[in-house]
Amino acid sequence: MGELFLDKDISMADDFNDEDYDTVANSLYAYNVEATKGLLTKPESDIHLFLKDKSGNVVGGICCETYSYCLYIDMFWIAEKYRNKGYG
């Protein structure tokens, strides 16, 4: 695409550099902090829970993270043998 001029003052370009990316990411973050009155500044944490059999082998697990008082599930898996038994 290169650069597309939308009008005399604005253009759209598909070339990528870290500075442009950081400008968008940091500006969005600053806007979200302002819009949520600081809620986005609350600490993040990872939560990982694993289901293990008697031998210590992992037979299931859930990997999550918290962000702004929300829980995001990244991965969830239960071995076939243990499904439909109330472990999930």
| 46 and 71 share one domain | yes
Tens-digit pLDDT profile for residues 54-79? 999 999 999 999 877 788 999 999 99
The DSSP-derived string for 15-34 is ---HHHHHHHHHHHHHHHHH
In this structure, the number of other CB atoms found within 10 A of the CB of residue 33 comes to 14
Predicted confidence (pLDDT) at residue 1 exceeds the cutoff of 70:
no
Same domain, 33 and 50: no
Q: Which residue from 31, 19, 74, 69 is spatially nearest to 49, judged by alpha carbons?
A: 74
Residue 72 and residue 46: Cα distance in Å, rounded?
10
**Residue 68, domain extent:** 42-82
The answer to the question of residue 87 being in a domain is no
Query: What is the pTM (predicted TM-score) of this model?
Result: 0.54
Q: Quickly tell me which residue has 């991965």 as its tokens.
A: 75
Q: Which of 29, 5, 2 is nearest to 16 (CA)?
A: 2
| Claim to verify: residue 55 and residue 71 sit in the same structural domain | yes
For residues 52 and 21, state if they share a domain. Answer: no
Counting the structural domains of the chain, the total is 2
Please write the tens of the pLDDT for every residue from 2-44: 666 767 778 778 888 899 999 999 999 899 888 888 777 777 8
Query: What CATH number is given to the structural domain containing 67?
Result: 3.40.630.30
